[in-house]
A and B are shown apart, each in its own frame.
Chain A
Amino acid sequence: MTQDFGWIHLVPLLNGAWLTIQLCFFSLLIGGAIGIIVGLGAASKNKLANVLSSIYIRLVRGVPLLMIIFLIYFALPMLHIGINFSKGFSAVTALSIYAGAYLGEIVRGGIQSVPKGQFEAADALGMTTIQKFRHVIIPQAMKFIIPPGIGFFIALIKDSSLVSIIGYIDLTKAGKVVSSLTFNPIASFLAVAAVYFVLCFGLSKASYYYEKRFLRST
């Protein structure tokens, strides 16, 4: 009934890793878009945008990711209002909402780290708001946004293992499955750790390269 741990068990682990990558990729895209909007809102002088953005950020950051996933997948259908999202949609939505709040906070911090004089200088040159952000503020804010942004993405890759609550077999869950199949948890989880390491190390390398290549000059 139990099998010995072998190369064949890398197959479910890699399938799990692929799922993790897909979920994180789409969540980063959508979450990144939410993050930029929310971050701009939180940094703006507009009272309404400011309050709405801070409510979003505080609410989402105050609720565990596990609960967000659970509520979207299980609680919405129980309201009997005809909403019953699929696994994939629920997982990406939950991760995006979660990422949006954290990235929003990072974007806000990045924009507010740009010295006030730069805003005033852009205004003095008669730039429109869009021009001001496009040519002056965002390029300078990027160096405060990218490093913590990548840091958050690395954390998201690991946090995304929570999707196993809705029946997804991601990398971590695949490790549990293989460990139950082989009764060799040490080998199974070492393999899982190795795959996570490859993913996250690659990302931090890319982030390091980006900083060196593009951010030195500014």
Chain B
Amino acid sequence: MFRKKKSALLTLMMSLALLVTACSSETSSSPTQNTQSRLDKIIASKKIRIATYADSPGWSVLNASGEYEGFDPDIARKLAESLGAEIEFVTTDGVNRIPLLESDKVDVAISVFTPTNERAKSINFTIPYSAAGLVPMYPKNKPISSWDGVKGKKVSVSKGSTGDIALSKYYPEAQLVRFDSTADAFLALKTGKVDVFVEEDGIILDLLKKNQEFESLPGQPFQSSYIAMGVKKGDQEWLNYLNHFIRNLNYSGEGAELYKNRFGVDAPKLLTY
């Protein structure tokens, strides 16, 4: 009898805890009004907190000397420079990008963020500063002749990457094998666990130089999605500033130049705003 009561109490407490967290995620998605814009805060404090990847080659990695390098950190530094602020980088991954924004741990996420309609319901996205071009990589002795060749084959991708999203949408017939990082997905191809590995063109081109036994499809990469910055909902002033910054970056050609420096290929064409 006593035992039963105790477990009932425990269940009650657990459900209460769950309820509290459930409520919390609801209140967070409603825009907070009458608060100071992040833009003013950053200008006043001269500090900006930016979420970026530590393990996404080409886009953003933490190098051996402890500095972030890649296309995203390049953009982040330009943004900080424009605001006269010092950057505090926060390491992120596909799992905690949105929670970092919602719980106000970072001001902006510059982290190979694909602005899907689903995600745009819980956070705000800027206009795109880049786009992802995907290419497949496969062994020379087991080639595919076109993108349709991935149908029915085992294809490795990095979990939540643009390759993952695009293939799930356009080639559901492919058997996707999702890995935690790009390096793991590539290792799967190298050890013969999968037939094809799909990633951003810049990364694949670099890997092909060092791994002669593989090749890729000639011609234009498969344009799958835009890449934009993510911010917490409800701060229109901050969003306006970021959009303005990106428009200047795109129009001046500075962004395309940074892209070419990092990936060694021409930047994907973006719509001109």
Contacts and interface: CB of A to CB of B under 8 A. Distances in A.
A177 B61 contact: yes
Contact of B14 (A59, A70, A77, A79): A59
A12 interface: yes
Interface stretch (A25-33, A91-99, A178-186, A209-217): A178-186
A1 B66 contact: no
A185 B55 CA distance: 12
Contacts of A166: 96
B214 to A, nearest CB: 12
A78 interface: yes
A193 interface: no
Contacts of B14: 59, 62
B64 A11 contact: yes
Nearest to A77: B103
Contacts of A54: 6
Interface in B241-264: 262-264
A169 B54 contact: yes
Contacts of A12: 62, 64, 66
B96 A185 contact: no
B1 interface: no
A181 B206 CA distance: 12
Interface residues of A, number: 42
Given A73-B103, A180-B55, A183-B207, A78 B28 contact: yes
A165 B98 CA distance: 12
Contacts of A177: 54-55, 61-62
Contact of A180 (B24, B91, B92, B182): B182
B74 interface: no
B212 interface: no
13 contacts: A1-B264, A15-B66, A51-B6, A59-B10, A70-B99, A75-B21, A78-B102, A78-B103, A84-B104, A167-B90, A176-B54, A179-B55, A185-B187
Given A176-B54, A180-B181, A183-B186, 15 more contacts: A2-B57, A2-B206, A3-B64, A9-B64, A54-B6, A59-B10, A59-B13, A74-B96, A77-B103, A84-B104, A164-B93, A167-B100, A176-B183, A181-B55, A181-B62
B116 interface: no
Nearest to A54: B6
A160 B10 CA distance: 27
B61 A180 contact: yes
Interface residues of B, number: 51
B57 A183 contact: yes
Interface in A1-46: 1-3, 8-9, 11-12, 15
Nearest to A182: B183
Which 9 A-B residue pairs are closest in the complex by CB-CB distance?
A180-B55, A78-B28, A77-B103, A78-B24, A74-B99, A167-B91, A179-B183, A8-B64, A1-B206
A48 B191 CA distance: 59
Nearest to B211: A183
Contacts of B65: 11
B168 interface: no
B205 to A, nearest CB: 9
A70 B103 CA distance: 11
Contacts of B82: none
B58 A55 contact: no
A3 B64 CA distance: 10
A181 B103 contact: no
Nearest to A81: B24
Contacts of B54: 169, 173, 176-177, 180
